[in-house]
Structure formats: structure tokens, C-alpha cells
Structure 1
Amino acid sequence: MAAMRWLLLLLSLVVCRSEAVFNRPYEIRLQNNEYTDVLVAIHRDVPEDMRVVDRLKQIITEASEDLYVATNSRAFLKEVKILIPKTWTKKPEYLPAGTETFERANVRVDVPNPLYGENPYVQQKGGCGEAGDFMHLTPKYVVDKQYGEDYWGPNGKTFVHEWGHLRWGLFDEYGTDDPASGQSYPHFYRTSQGGVRPTGCSAWVAGTNKHTVTGSPCRLDPGTGVYESECRFYPDEQTNRATGSYMFMHFLSQVTSFCHSDPAGDPLSFHNREAPNKHNSLCQGQSAWDVMTQHPDFTNGANPPQKVRSTAPGFVLFEAYIAPRLGQSAWDVMTQHPDFAHGANPPREVRTTAPGFVLLQESDFRIVLVLDASNSMRGEPLRRLNQVARRFIQGTVYFGSSVGLVTFARAESLEHPVISVDSQADRDSLAATVPTTTSGGTCIGCGLLKGVEVRA
């Protein structure tokens, strides 16, 4: 019992901050091109297996390097927290968790979702450009490298694909039949020039169209003007030249970028706005890179590239046309531009994109909620307090936690003694004692003293 940690939560006029801390996803930060405060958590139902932790480190390290390339040297993973469940053996190298919980994790390792099986996926409820809720990886996918790469491609690149969903609100650029969401997007479409193409980005991806059952060449359906419903596109690794896109076929070795709409950029990852895929549908035909550069990570020049590349979009014309005419190199012309003249925006050396890892473990918390039920909370403040407290009890408090509840006005009142929350009924019992009415003056000290007394 001596090792058990206590937490008094005082909820009154600061309920908005409490809601942000306890009910929203962990806040990822990007500063100086470095992502920090990325929270990865392992569910309590996952059997103890240190291979999960070791492989997570490997996958995320690979992903950081791939992410750096895919964002044109603008972002990589600098620090990642891995939350170990309390059901696993305690080790001295594990730091105690604070507000880090599985329910707030950006990336979750959990048992398979019946709708998706072993597939890595991101829960996305928002629209174009809106961050996803969390990334879901299964223990089998994480531990079995060969299995994961055989089905979905290199682990690091798959992580970057899912990061596009999670961080920037991108969507898949391929045709799909998705029974989970009830949304389907055609695998082929007729172009404005009259031909038939596979749904994807970019249009340069090479491959063949085959019947999924017979393996024979696809036939056009006279009713639709496109290939029969059993037809699928199979990319050819050997002949493919396309460099985009991560939201289409990220597993191809040549694919290293997201589709863009810059006419002066790489034509092999130029956005195909005609393709009737989910991304084009929800993002009104914008490219993945267009959506990304409207995100706070990159908008208004935030987190510019850490090193200048002579093939950067916007400078191709200098090399092809201007430089030869003036007898100057492309770099000579570029360094006279205000972007770089007089030493502006010097490169910042990146020695490694390998992230650091912090191992945390869920703590044996005993929590006492101290809630303000005085007349100062009348109306909207009380409604918000009630909402936040109930969300915390029902969504953040995990089974095995010890929780009690105290209210205060002019004097304090014990509404619910500390109990071990071992079932949904326990959660419901606690939630039912959250105050719905106010009375009297405000004695914060009374509430805090009662909270200390209850936890003793």
C-alpha cells in the first residue's frame, strides 16, 4: 500500500482544462521539425511480451526516417512514450505514468477489432484535415515482422500511411469496399479522355488488371463502361516509376512521398484529382500535400525543411531554363533569392531521425474527485463540471483504480467512499453521485481537507 499513489482532482471553474487533460487524445507537438509527446499504449488484455515493446521501437524508428523523407525533410519523430499496462511485471526502468492512459493514447496496441482483423487502421470520425482519434495495431502485427510486411508492406511505411490519417486527416486514395463504414469507392473509373484507369494516386503507378478469381485479364462491363466488379489492379514493383503516394500504394519501394499539386514538382507523384477515391471525395479534389500544408504543422511556413535540396519544387525551372541562360548554376540562382540570400534560413543539421523512447507504466492510483457544488457553479459551470466528471469516471478511470468523490459548498460532503472500480456497475455508481444542483457559499479548503481525509 505504501507504493500506491494518490491524486486529488479539484474540479470547479477549471473544468475545461480538466476535460482537455483527461478526456482528449494525448497532445502531439511538432516544434523545430521534431514530433514529441507521442503516446503509444499497450492494452491490459495483451499478454506480457517484451517483444511488443522491442518491435514498437523498431517500427517507429523506421517510420521516423520514412516520415522525414515523405515530408520533404520537415518532420520526424523525436520522442515517443510507450505506456506499459499495470498487469505487466514492474521494472525499475519504467517511470510512473501521470495523465498518460491507454484511452488517451495516439497509437494503441490492442486485440483485433472484429471489423478489421489484424489490419492496422486509424479511427477517423472527422472530415478532411481533421485528426483521427487513434491508430490501432494488433500484437500479431507488431511482433511478427514477416507477417506484417507480407500483407501490408514495410512496417515503417505502413506507420507513415496511418500517420497521414491520424495526424493530418488524409484518406485512402485507392478503391475500396468497406463493410465497416458502409462506404465503397470504385476500383476503376473512366477518365476524361475516355480510357479506364485504376483508382489511385499517382496515375503513373504501373501494373496489370486481373480478375480476382480466375487471374485472367479483366473485361469491360458494357453496362458501366469500366471493368467487371471482380477486377483489381495489381502493381508491378519492377516496372513502377511512380514516387507517390503514401495514401495509395505506400508499400512500393519507389513510393517515398505524398501526392502533390505543384506543376513544377515531381511529375511521378502529381495528384490525380479525377480518381473517385475517398480522399478526393472528402477533400474536394485537393492533393494530400495540399491538405497537409494547411495543417498547423506546416501552414504559414511552419517547420520548413531542415536541409535544402536542389530538386525542391519551385526551383526546377531555375535549373532547366534560367541557369543555363545566365551561365550560373541552379544553386547560384537560388541563393540570390530572398529565401536564402545573406544567409537567410541556414540548414540545421539532422544527425539522426531515430527517436528517443520513454517507458512508462500505469500506476496504482487512488483518486478522490473534489467537486465544487456551491452557488458559484450555478448554470453552465455546473453543467460542464457534471459532464467532465462523468466522462472522466466512465471513460478514463480504468478497472482496478480506486476512486472516491467529495463535494463542497460552504461545507464538505462525502458523496461516495473510495472503492475499487472493477466493473461498469462501479463506474455507474460513482457517476450517479456527481452533483446536479448547487447551494451555499464556497469553501475550497473544506473540500480539499475532506479529500485528504477520505484518502487516508
Structure 2
Amino acid sequence: MWSSRLPVVVLFFLFRSFVGSTNVKLENNGYKGLLIAIHPTVPESSALIQEITDAWTSASEALYKATKHRAYFNIITILVPATWTKTSYPISTEETYSEADVVIESGSISAPFTEQYGSACGEPGSKIHTRYNYYTDDDAVTNFGQRGKAIVQQWAHYRYGIYDETSTEYTKQNGEHQASRCPESVSGLVVNVENTATTCAFDENTNTYTDDQCVFLPQENTAGVSTTLSCYQYLDNVVTFCHDQDPTNPNGPNVHNSNAKNEQNRLCDRKSSWYHILQHDDFVKGSNLANDSITDLTPSFNFVKMEEHPRYVLIIDVSNSMKGVRPECYTTPFEINDKNIKRESTNDTKHFSFFPLSKLFLLEYLVA
């Protein structure tokens, strides 16, 4: 019988991709299985927990509006560090920091960001990164906009594989230099943010201003504009994503600018963020259509604590049934479910039932 006192040798034969590895599912318009993990270096704080739940409740409401009533956050699990002693949360049985969809880290305050290693539109991100003081410091709202909308912006990168629509390039239209922006209807001014009295000189060869401090500042509450969260999430009136041209309103203020020089156009065939969001498996073939009857958008939060000393067991079948099997067969992928471990080979299938494991490729078992 295995005992927690036994020395455990950690052996890994990992052949898995960490990009897009998630247990999140959208069912009846509600996302379930979302895992948020707090890094062990983050100081314990009940106030932080409250701020996290508040921010993700706001994000749920913002997501519902941004997806035009197609999705919200229903069930969220928060994994707290084993070093936190003031809480009595149950010990995690399967949640791990490495598999979290969102991580909360220590460090200086910064905007949330998403690891996107794909080179094609629609490829999911690897993880959303946030800093713990992003949730607690009011400067975060001042600098990056409302937390809920900023989180939804990153969720769109992570879940739907869309890209930023920000740009530092400019074009000349009707004799004026115009910021490359989406939508084009967003009004604003180019100013030197360090010294507003300074005139910004334009370089015709690079289509940029010679001073890096000269940037386009969008105007709040441009008439009729409500997009795009992929760029202007910090504007109060921006609540959703740019869409492709509507035949009934071809000159609408929220139409995607396919000529803007940004990552979304470069990687996504110049299609709008909203177009590609609707191509995601969450919404195709009539899945999760708009549901206007959902009134409670507050997520259900579950809390678990990290196992202080996780144990890993590598299981190798050395029974007679495996005699004569070529060594290279041991490198074939494992399919693991809650009741058995099944090794696929070209000749036969061997069943193992030593432990109930549930992690793909990683043979992980937390020994009591």
C-alpha cells in the first residue's frame, strides 16, 4: 500500500502541448471548468480573494454583453497556495497551477496579458497572466480600464484566438494623418503625452511620428461607437467587438476596419474579431445562441488549496502480458480516464487499473 512516508521518485515522460490545454466548456451559455491559480509567492489576503471574485463577476457581466448574450462565467475554481494557512479550503485533488487557465502572480502592477504562441487565427492562447495587485490597486482601473472589460479582452485572446487591434502606424487620408485604428469612426487627437504643447512631427517614410511620445488618444463617447474591446477596452462606451460590414448599415460606426495595420488583420484574413468569435466551437452550428432571459450572471466560486507535496507515480507494466513488446511501444501516448489507464499499440490494447487517474499523458497521483 502506498504511503505518504514513502520516498517518491518523480519521473516524467511528457509529450503534451500546453497551448490550449483547458477543461473549460460552454454549456447553456455558461462557462464551466475555469481554473484560476494563485502563485505561492502571493501573500495571503482575504481582501485579495474578495477583489478577485468581484473582478470576475464584473467580467461575467461584461462577457455577456460583449457576446451579445451568448456567454457568461458560470462556475470558477480558485486554487490558493498551500502556504496560505488562514483558510480551511479543501485540498485539491486534480487542479494544478501549471494547468490553470488564469494565473495570479506577484510583481509590479501591469495589465493582464495572454500567452499566444500560435501563428494562425483561432488558435487558443496558453494562459492568461494577471498580477495580484492588479485586483487590489485602483491605479489598475485608471491605467488599464475597468477590470471586467480588460479581463474579457484577454479571454477573447485566450479562448477564441483573436488578436490585438492596436497599432502605432498612421495613414494619410484627405491630406490628414489618420491613426490606424478599429473602428475607423473612433475620433481622437495625436498628442505628445509628455508635453502637450509640443508639435508632433510626422515621418512620411515610416508612417509614424518621430517622437515616441506622440500617440493617438481616442475620444470618450464617440457618437454611436461601442467597439472594440480588442483595442479600446478602457473607454467607457466600448463594450463589444468590431463586426464585419452589415449590408443594412454599411457605414455603421462599429464596422471593422480591414485596412488597419494590426495583428488581427494580419493573422485573421482581415476579418473582424466578432466574425472569428462566432467561428469558435462554442458558438458554431447553433450552439449557445443569444439568451436574453439570463438574469443572474454571478459566477459560482469554488476554492481549493494546492497539495503541499504533490506525489507523482510512473506506472510501467512489467507483467508477462508485455513480454515481447518492442521497447519503442512504451513511447506511445497514453489515454487516461477516471477508471483505467489504456495504452494504445498497433497490435493490442493493454488495460491498467492500478489507480484512478485523470490527466492526459502526465501520470499524476496525489498520494494521501
Using the size of structure 1 for normalisation, the TM-score is: 0.65
Aligned position for 1:60: 56
State the alpha-carbon separation in 1 of the partners of residues 311 and 86 from structure 2: 18
Aligned position for 1:354: 298
For residues 178-219 of structure 1, what are the alpha-carbon distances to aligned partners after superposition, in whole Å with 9 as ceiling and x for unaligned? Answer: xxxxxxxx332345x675321221111121111244323433
Change (3 A) 1:45 1:363: same
For residues 6-40 of structure 1, what are the alpha-carbon distances to aligned partners after superposition, in whole Å with 9 as ceiling and x for unaligned? Answer: 9x9xx9xxx99x969x9973311001111000000
The yes-or-no answer on 1:228 pairing with 2:210 is yes
Residue from 263, 285, 299 that aligns with 1:300: 285
Aligned position for 1:209: 190
State the alpha-carbon separation in 1 of the partners of residues 207 and 26 from structure 2: 47
Residue from 367, 370, 389 that aligns with 2:315: 370
The yes-or-no answer on 1:43 pairing with 2:24 is no
Letter in 2 for 1:88: W
The yes-or-no answer on 1:286 pairing with 2:279 is no
Q: Which has the larger radius of gyration?
A: 1
Change (3 A) 1:362 1:24: farther
Residue from 252, 259, 270 that aligns with 2:235: 252
Letter in 2 for 1:372: D
Residue from 172, 176, 180 that aligns with 1:199: 180
Change (3 A) 1:383 1:257: same
State the alpha-carbon separation in 1 of the partners of residues 69 and 128 from structure 2: 23
CA apart distance, 1:362: 1.1
CA apart distance, 1:367: 3.5
Letter in 2 for 1:79: I
CA contact (8 A) 1:96 1:362 kept: yes
State the alpha-carbon separation in 2 of the partners of residues 23 and 255 from structure 1: 29
Change (3 A) 1:47 1:99: same
State the alpha-carbon separation in 2 of the partners of residues 219 and 240 from structure 1: 29
Change (3 A) 1:305 1:219: same
CA apart distance, 1:254: 0.9
Aligned position for 1:178: none
State the alpha-carbon separation in 1 of the partners of residues 113 and 171 from structure 2: 26
Aligned position for 1:100: 95
Residue from 330, 343, 348 that aligns with 1:382: 330
CA apart distance, 1:371: 2.1
Letter in 2 for 1:366: R
Letter in 2 for 1:101: T
CA apart distance, 1:370: 1.6
State the alpha-carbon separation in 2 of the partners of residues 376 and 71 from structure 1: 56
Change (3 A) 1:31 1:238: closer
CA contact (8 A) 1:110 1:136 kept: yes
CA apart distance, 1:41: 0.3
Q: CA RMSD in A?
A: 3.4
Identity in percent: 30
CA contact (8 A) 2:228 2:239 kept: yes
Change (3 A) 1:49 1:381: farther
- Report SS of the residue matched to 1:57: helix
The yes-or-no answer on 1:148 pairing with 2:140 is yes
Letter in 1 for 2:184: A
Which of the pair is proportionally richer in helix? Answer: 1
- Number of residue pairs aligned between Structure 1 and Structure 2: 330
CA apart distance, 1:368: 2.7
State the alpha-carbon separation in 2 of the partners of residues 232 and 225 from structure 1: 13
For residues 291-350 of structure 1, what are the alpha-carbon distances to aligned partners after superposition, in whole Å with 9 as ceiling and x for unaligned? Answer: 11111011122110003xxxxxxxxxxxxxxxxxxxxxxxxxxxxxxxxxxxxxxxxx21
State the alpha-carbon separation in 1 of the partners of residues 351 and 254 from structure 2: 63
Letter in 2 for 1:260: H
Aligned position for 2:79: 83
Change (3 A) 1:97 1:225: closer
Residue from 97, 104, 128 that aligns with 1:135: 128
Aligned position for 2:68: 72
Structure 2 residues not aligned, in runs of 5+:
336-349, 356-366
CA contact (8 A) 2:258 2:271 kept: yes
- Report SS of the residue matched to 2:296: coil
- Report SS of the residue matched to 1:369: coil
Change (3 A) 1:226 1:40: closer
CA contact (8 A) 2:111 2:130 kept: yes
Letter in 2 for 1:48: E
Using the size of structure 2 for normalisation, the TM-score is: 0.79
Change (3 A) 1:23 1:372: farther
Letter in 2 for 1:56: I
Q: How do 1:116-195 residues align onto structure 2 when only pairs under 5 Å count?
A: 118-126=110-118, 127-144=120-137, 146-175=138-167, 186-190=168-172, 195=176
Change (3 A) 1:383 1:443: closer
Change (3 A) 1:240 1:89: farther
State the alpha-carbon separation in 1 of the partners of residues 139 and 59 from structure 2: 17
